[in-house]
Amino acid sequence: MSKPAFSFEFFPAKTDQGREKLLSTFDELNTLSPTYFSVTYGAGGSTRSRTLDIVQALSTRGDTDIAPHMSCIGDDKSEIAELLEHYKSLGINRLVALRGDLPSGQVGMGELPFALDLVKFIREHSGDHFRIEVAAYPEMHPQARSFEFDVDNLVNKFQAGANAAITQFFYNADSYLYLRDTLEKRGINTIDQPLVAGIMPITNSSNLIRFADSCGADIPRYVRKQLFDYGDDSKAIREFGFDVVYRLCERLISEGVPAMHFYSMNKVEPNKRLVEALGLTT
């Protein structure tokens, strides 16, 4: 059985100290030979300058691909075209194309209101220069009218030129497998256009639950209950969380997952521990 590829996600640091720590984290995780690192982009481009700074710093720090997130909501075509040209000048050839969230107080959706529109625009503007990753939701986007509607949207993004999709994090492997099988039935070849499993390590119960509730990701009842029972025992939470995520990844690997994208939270551990324990680096 072939081992899945793996990659990591970073978010731009807010301070100079955080930036230096992120660069150090990059150096350490980069020794694991991931396929790429992605860098997030705040609502309506709210972290634009910090994202650009980190992307530029990382792109010159090693040979590993850097994939900036691009959101379209609230931006016009000229701004997005300018950003695409800038990334080309840096040698970037991979992007994560997202709708993004509307910043608080902003009303307009912009010229490209949905990720599908962004994928189409990138292809019209830059041809096949960029490998485009898009978002997928095994447990359905929280704003989708139905699961079928959500799948339609993902299929449309693939047909518009997306090369792969990265899922929202999940802890129920069957939700990922059901989405993968549904895509296959809809004519998407998930070998050529893979469904990458988004993996969120568990290190802090309150942060995880708050984040999951805000983005519609399900935390199984037994996980929530165990995290609650551990209270402030951070070591027990980390060990339990490692076991939950390790077992999830093992199941996905046994089912032939093509790749896993770790939401690193800008930390070396437990991402490095998981990758090494799963034997992805050997």
Please give the Cα distance from 91 to 60 (Å, whole number): 10
What's the distance, CA 260 to chain centroid? 9
Please give the Cα distance from 261 to 37 (Å, whole number): 9
CA angle 80, 83, 87 (to 5 degrees): 140
Q: Residue 133's beta-bridge partner residues?
A: 96, 164
* Helix/strand/coil percentages in the chain, nearest 5: 45, 15, 40
Q: Is 9 a catalytic residue?
A: yes
Catalytic residue among 9, 20, 111, 276: 9
Please give the Cα distance from 43 to 237 (Å, whole number): 30
Strands annotated E in the chain: 5-10, 36-39, 65-71, 94-98, 131-136, 164-167, 195-199, 259-263
> Which tokens is 222 given?
């037994």
Q: Residue 260's beta-bridge partner residues?
A: 6, 197
Q: Residue 69's beta-bridge partner residues?
A: 96
Which residues are tagged catalytic? 9
